[in-house]
């Protein structure tokens, strides 16, 4: 019984593959069959054949189906039978789905279901159906009951391996592999076989013998397959002919048997020669049916001939088997010149590697959605082709469209856009040059005129103080202009502090009247509770003033400006950047001006962009706001409608009030007294600045030594000198000021270091690493306060390890 079960299971698998093969080769739905050939189909002895209409009524059936279903022939002839009569209730939906599929596609995929016999018995059938052009269906039915029963029996019997080993009808053996000196399998010896082994192979007395002794002409690939299983441990399932065993076909499942490290392989197999013969019979039937649809193939051929797209069929290596005439029309090469070789000789050298990769992917069964490369024409030019390809049954079906003109148009458009971009950059540089030159010339005019008056010996003291104040104020304005240039480039060395933006905004609002003018009404809407951020206070106030000035100009000096703060806000998506939950402090300035045109709105934060005429603005105001916001971990958004006004919103991350700056200390409020005899090492590479800084410190009461670079400063410190502090520039050739300060921290941890800089990308990116910084330009009072505080407090801020 167990032997029959195993044989039935193998037979079921063979029949299923046969029907699938028939399904794959049949192609289009069946044409009309003449009476003689229809009877030939119904006369197949090993397969049940049934004619039926689309309501499921059985019109005719061959003796094989009547035998397996045990239906009454008289009822069949009387037209009283339908699939509902031979199908159990639980399988009725499967029959309905099959009929629906047949109506929709003209065929059904092979499927299994149970049939009911008149005596109440059942059998399993493997079914494949097709629709003929006269609306009649033709179904082939194979009895796979034995196979289904075998599957159930074998699944239940895994725990009774030894019993089944002797009882199953499938052949089974355990072999030991032998390898040559190069590691190649050359033979195997039978260690154990079951009784069915002899029936499946015809080999008696195999145990203990080598296969080469039994069948000297056995094909080498059998040894290679089993040797791979023994060495890798990966099981294999395959079908192969064994010519040395009588030209029989075997379905084989091989797996490694791990016993004491020996190269042993378990082999379960079935003789599938009969099934292969059945497949051949079904294939011949399908070949007969294929001839009936040859007319449709002719129609496809006409499409092949007239298509403007390049069509082609290639094998798995990319060798063209056929191409259509569009190849000649597009590239100039004849069909005979292309067929029989790959397209490598046509491909642009830069495209060959990626083309080979695409062919390999297709051969592996992966479809290509889009792919472009370039092919050479007979005239020596290259055309850009856009490909689509699909693998099927070992072949590659390809279609290519010439997109050369389309790509050329896109390239010309990209070049035009790049030219426009370059033009815009040149325009921006021109605006920067005009605006900055105008502003600096104004500042230099004030300084030059004031200096000329200060040189007069008879100048009154009041006017002398006035001109000195003018020079000092003008330097501060020049420093702010330089700070704006650095801020929009995000290279400003910020000095972040924790402060309450509510209080700061109130202070700025009180002074905006002097900026906006009397005809602009300033309203503030701020919460009663404080709201803390960590940012550069000076840059924050500058950003608010810049937005206020922009609003003033938009309102032409008359209107309403509303300042508002929302705490704990989320930051929305801005200019393509993702939203952030926050919390953020949102400072908004809304004006009642004319609004910003949509074509201008996207450019207002660009460096140097301004709508004002040359000399009336540098375009740095909103750029400073943008740069400050980004450097501080936030962003700035703008909403505007023509005729309705504009709202700018500055987002800064909220922080806890820890580290809150209460206000200016003693060192910021008044000069620090200089202890007598204090020595300062000045490190400055610019000769004029070095001399001037040395002179200021001497006038303040310090003893000074000047080093022109960091290396010289280290040498002077190593020679001694008893310096009380080091005052160093940041930007110097060779070792910079930050690196010098770090080295001094390592060598002289108690020596205070004060840094100074007008600009440094290192400071903008990395900060001061804990060292105090005095920004250029600085006054003598500022230098006195900061250096005196450093010496008095021993201002050494120790950074984390590895800073």
pLDDT of 182 strictly over 60: yes
Please answer whether residues 447 and 503 qualify as being in contact, where contact means their C-beta atoms are separated by less than 8 angstroms. Answer: no
What does the domain layout of the chain look like in residue ranges? 2-149, 170-273, 294-402, 489-653, 667-793
Rounded to whole angstroms, the Cα distance separating 539 from 496 reads 9
Rounded to whole angstroms, the Cα distance separating 148 from 160 reads 19
C-alpha distances (whole Å) from 642 to each of 168, 554, 647 are 89, 11, 12
Q: For residue 61, what are the β-bridge partners?
A: 50
State percent of the chain over pLDDT 90: 21
State percent of the chain over pLDDT 70: 76
Banded model confidence at residue 490, pLDDT cuts 50, 70, 90: very low
Containing 413, the helix (H) or strand (E) segment is helix 404-454
Distance of CA 629 to the CA centre of its chain: 29
pLDDT score of 485: 57
Rounded to whole angstroms, the Cα distance separating 207 from 193 reads 7
Of 430-444, 579-593, 633-647, 672-686, the least confident: 430-444
pLDDT score of 467: 67
* Residue 73 CB neighbours (<10 A): 11
Span 111-121, mean pLDDT?
Answer: 91
pLDDT tens digits, one per residue of 665-714: 434 445 556 655 788 999 998 887 888 888 888 888 888 889 889 898 89
pLDDT of 440 strictly over 90: no
Name the residue with tokens 């629906």: 100
Tokens, residue 195: 């009784």
Rounded to whole angstroms, the Cα distance separating 526 from 564 reads 6
Rounded to whole angstroms, the Cα distance separating 338 from 347 reads 12
pLDDT of 608 strictly over 70: no
Same fold, 170-273 and 294-402: yes
Q: Kindly calculate the radius of gyration of the chain based on its CA atoms and give it in whole angstroms.
A: 46
Please answer whether residues 13 and 154 qualify as being in contact, where contact means their C-beta atoms are separated by less than 8 angstroms. Answer: no
Span 256-262, mean pLDDT?
Answer: 74
Q: What is the DSSP string of 116-156?
A: E-TTS-EEEEEEEEEE-TTS-EEEEEEE-HHHHHHHHHHHH
Rounded to whole angstroms, the Cα distance separating 135 from 33 reads 12
pLDDT of 178 strictly over 90: yes
SS3 label, residue 329: helix
Banded model confidence at residue 184, pLDDT cuts 50, 70, 90: very high
pLDDT tens digits, one per residue of 46-102: 688 899 998 889 998 988 899 899 998 888 888 888 888 999 999 999 989 999 999
C-alpha distances (whole Å) from 496 to each of 520, 540, 580, 729, 789 are 32, 10, 22, 21, 20
Minimal CA–CA distance to 187: which of 162, 158, 209, 170? 209
- The CATH label, of 3.40.50.1100, 3.20.20.370, 3.30.565.10, 3.50.50.60, for the domain at 489-653 is 3.30.565.10
pLDDT of 190 strictly over 90: yes
pLDDT tens digits, one per residue of 725-757: 899 988 888 888 888 888 888 888 888 898 888
Cis peptide before 777 (omega within 30 of 0): yes
C-alpha distances (whole Å) from 678 to each of 681, 721, 722, 753, 796 are 10, 11, 9, 14, 17
CATH, range 294-402 = 3.30.450.20
Helix, strand and coil content of the chain, in percent to the nearest 5, comes to 45, 25, 30
pLDDT of 664 strictly over 70: no
Of 202-211, 291-300, 324-333, the least confident: 291-300
Phi, psi for 65 (deg, rounded to 5):
-70, -40
Please answer whether residues 560 and 523 qualify as being in contact, where contact means their C-beta atoms are separated by less than 8 angstroms. Answer: yes
- Please list, in sequence order, all residues whose beta carbon lies within 8 angstroms of the beta carbon of residue 167, skipping any fewer than 6 positions away: 1, 2, 3
CATH, range 2-149 = 3.30.450.20
pLDDT tens digits, one per residue of 370-384: 788 999 999 999 999
Rounded to whole angstroms, the Cα distance separating 50 from 82 reads 11
Please answer whether residues 647 and 638 qualify as being in contact, where contact means their C-beta atoms are separated by less than 8 angstroms. Answer: yes
Banded model confidence at residue 495, pLDDT cuts 50, 70, 90: low
Rounded to whole angstroms, the Cα distance separating 792 from 799 reads 20
pLDDT of 613 strictly over 70: no
Rounded to whole angstroms, the Cα distance separating 360 from 427 reads 51
pLDDT score of 450: 67
Tokens, residue 229: 């299983």
Q: For residue 312, what are the β-bridge partners?
A: 323, 398
**What's the mean per-residue pLDDT of the chain?**
79
667-793 homologous superfamily: Response regulator (3.40.50.2300)
Banded model confidence at residue 451, pLDDT cuts 50, 70, 90: confident
pLDDT of 446 strictly over 90: no
pLDDT score of 191: 92
C-alpha distances (whole Å) from 705 to each of 29, 420, 511, 659, 666 are 102, 55, 44, 36, 27
pLDDT score of 329: 92
pLDDT tens digits, one per residue of 499-533: 998 988 888 887 776 667 778 888 888 888 889 99
Query: 111: buried, middle or exposed (CB in 10 Å: 19+, 13-18, 0-12)?
Result: middle
pLDDT score of 442: 62
Strands 645-653 and 635-641, bridge-based pairing: antiparallel
Span 755-772, mean pLDDT?
Answer: 67
Span 432-453, mean pLDDT?
Answer: 63
C-alpha distances (whole Å) from 119 to each of 122, 422, 596 are 9, 90, 89
- Please list, in sequence order, all residues whose beta carbon lies within 8 angstroms of the beta carbon of residue 618, skipping any fewer than 6 positions away: 431, 432, 435, 436, 439, 481, 484, 608, 610
Span 327-344, mean pLDDT?
Answer: 93
Please answer whether residues 311 and 304 qualify as being in contact, where contact means their C-beta atoms are separated by less than 8 angstroms. Answer: yes
Distance of CA 167 to the CA centre of its chain: 57
Phi, psi for 11 (deg, rounded to 5):
-65, -40
pLDDT score of 494: 60
pLDDT tens digits, one per residue of 213-240: 998 888 888 899 999 999 888 999 988 8
Rounded to whole angstroms, the Cα distance separating 351 from 360 reads 14
Minimal CA–CA distance to 386: which of 365, 407, 366, 367? 407
Please answer whether residues 547 and 553 qualify as being in contact, where contact means their C-beta atoms are separated by less than 8 angstroms. Answer: no
Q: For residue 373, what are the β-bridge partners?
A: 385
Q: What is the largest CA-CA distance in the chain?
A: 142
Tokens, residue 409: 């148009």
Of residues 211 and 769, the one with the higher pLDDT is 211
- Please list, in sequence order, all residues whose beta carbon lies within 8 angstroms of the beta carbon of residue 536, skipping any fewer than 6 positions away: 492, 494, 495, 496, 497, 628, 632
Span 754-774, mean pLDDT?
Answer: 69
**Does 3.20.20.70 match the CATH number of domain 170-273?**
no
pLDDT of 800 strictly over 60: no
Span 424-453, mean pLDDT?
Answer: 60
Tokens, residue 578: 């993702």
Containing 550, the helix (H) or strand (E) segment is helix 537-554
DSSP state of 345: T
SS3 label, residue 17: helix
pLDDT score of 436: 58
pLDDT score of 33: 45
SS3 label, residue 458: coil
Banded model confidence at residue 22, pLDDT cuts 50, 70, 90: very low
Containing 407, the helix (H) or strand (E) segment is helix 404-454
> What is the SS3 string spanning 581-604?
EEEEEEEEEEECCCCCCHHHHCCC
């Amino acid at each position: 019984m167990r032997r029959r079960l195993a044989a039935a299971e193998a037979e079921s698998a063979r029949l299923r593959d046969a029907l699938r093969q028939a399904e794959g080769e049949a192609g289009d739905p069946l044409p009309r069959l003449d009476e003689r050939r229809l009877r030939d189909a119904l006369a197949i002895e090993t397969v049940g054949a049934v004619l039926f209409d689309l309501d499921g009524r059985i019109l005719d059936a061959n003796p094989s189906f009547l035998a397996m279903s045990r239906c009454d022939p008289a009822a069949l002839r009387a037209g009283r039978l339908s699939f509902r009569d031979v199908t159990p209730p639980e399988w009725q939906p499967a029959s309905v789905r099959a009929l629906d599929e047949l109506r929709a596609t003209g065929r059904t995929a092979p499927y299994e279901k149970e049939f009911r016999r008149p005596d109440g018995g059942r059998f399993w059938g493997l079914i494949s159906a097709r629709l003929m052009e006269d609306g009649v269906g033709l179904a082939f039915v194979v009895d796979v009951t034995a196979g289904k029963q075998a599957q159930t029996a074998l699944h239940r019997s895994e725990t009774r391996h030894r019993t089944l080993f002797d009882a199953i009808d499938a052949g089974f053996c355990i072999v030991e592999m032998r390898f040559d000196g190069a590691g190649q399998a050359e033979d195997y010896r039978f260690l154990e076989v079951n009784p069915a082994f002899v029936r499946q192979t015809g080999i008696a007395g195999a145990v203990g013998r080598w296969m080469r002794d039994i069948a000297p002409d056995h094909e080498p690939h059998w040894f290679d397959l089993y040797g791979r299983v023994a060495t890798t441990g990966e099981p294999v399932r395959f079908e192969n002919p064994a010519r040395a065993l009588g030209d029989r076909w075997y379905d084989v499942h091989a797996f490694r048997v791990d016993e004491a490290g020996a190269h042993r392989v378990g082999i379960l197999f079935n003789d599938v020669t009969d099934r292969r013969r059945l497949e051949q019979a079904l294939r011949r039937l399908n070949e007969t049916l294929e001839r009936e649809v040859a007319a449709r193939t002719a129609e496809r051929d006409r499409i092949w001939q007239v298509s403007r797209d390049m069509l082609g069929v290639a094998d798995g290596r990319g060798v063209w088997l056929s191409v259509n005439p569009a190849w000649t029309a597009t590239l100039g090469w004849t069909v005979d010149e292309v067929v029989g070789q790959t397209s490598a000789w046509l491909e642009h050298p830069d495209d060959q590697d990626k083309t080979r990769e695409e062919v390999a992917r297709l051969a592996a069964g992966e479809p290509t959605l889009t792919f472009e490369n370039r092919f050479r024409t007979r005239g020596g030019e290259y055309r850009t082709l856009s490909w689509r390809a699909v693998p099927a049954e070992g072949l590659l079906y390809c279609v290519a469209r010439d997109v050369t003109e389309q790509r050329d148009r896109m390239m010309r458009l990209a070049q035009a856009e790049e030219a426009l971009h370059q033009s815009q950059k040149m325009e921006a540089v021109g605006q920067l040059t005009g605006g900055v030159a105008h502003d600096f010339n104004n500042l230099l005019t004030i300084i030059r005129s004031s200096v000329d008056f200060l040189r007069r010996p008879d100048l009154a003291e009041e006017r002398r103080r006035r001109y000195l104040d003018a020079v000092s104020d003008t330097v501060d304005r020049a420093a702010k202009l330089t700070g704006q240039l650095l801020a929009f480039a995000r290279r400003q060395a910020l000095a972040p502090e924790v402060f309450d933006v509510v209080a700061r905004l109130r202070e700025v609002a009180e002074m905006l009247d002097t900026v906006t003018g009397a005809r602009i009404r300033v309203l503030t809407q701020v919460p009663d509770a404080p709201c803390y951020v960590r940012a550069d206070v000076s840059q924050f106030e500058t950003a608010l003033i810049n937005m206020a000035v922009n609003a003033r100009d938009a309102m032409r000096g008359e209107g309403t400006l509303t300042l508002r703060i929302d705490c704990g806000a989320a930051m929305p998506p801005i200019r393509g950047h993702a939203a952030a939950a926050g919390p953020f402090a949102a400072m908004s300035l809304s004006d009642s001006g004319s609004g910003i045109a949509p074509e201008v709105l996207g450019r207002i934060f660009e460096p140097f962009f301004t709508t004002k005429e040359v000399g009336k603005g540098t375009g740095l105001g909103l750029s400073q706001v943008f740069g400050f916001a980004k450097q501080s971990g936030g962003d700035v958004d703008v909403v505007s409608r023509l005729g309705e006004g504009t709202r700018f919103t500055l987002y800064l991350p909220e922080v806890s009030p820890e580290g809150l700056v209460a206000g200016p200390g003693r060192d910021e409020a008044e000069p620090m007294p200089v202890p007598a005899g204090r020595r300062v090492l000045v490190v400055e590479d610019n000769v004029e600045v070095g001399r001037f800084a040395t002179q200021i410190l001497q006038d303040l009461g310090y003893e000074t030594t000047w080093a022109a670079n960091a290396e010289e400063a280290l040498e002077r410190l190593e020679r001694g000198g008893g310096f009380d502090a080091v005052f160093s520039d940041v930007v110097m050739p060779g070792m910079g000021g930050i690196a010098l300060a770090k080295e001094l921290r390592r060598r002289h941890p108690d020596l205070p270091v004060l840094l100074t800089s007008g600009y440094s990308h290192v400071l903008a990116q990395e900060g001061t690493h804990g060292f105090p910084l005095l920004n250029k330009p600085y006054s003598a009072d500022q230098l006195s306060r900061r250096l005196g505080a450093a010496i008095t407090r021993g201002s050494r801020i120790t950074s984390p390890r590895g800073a």
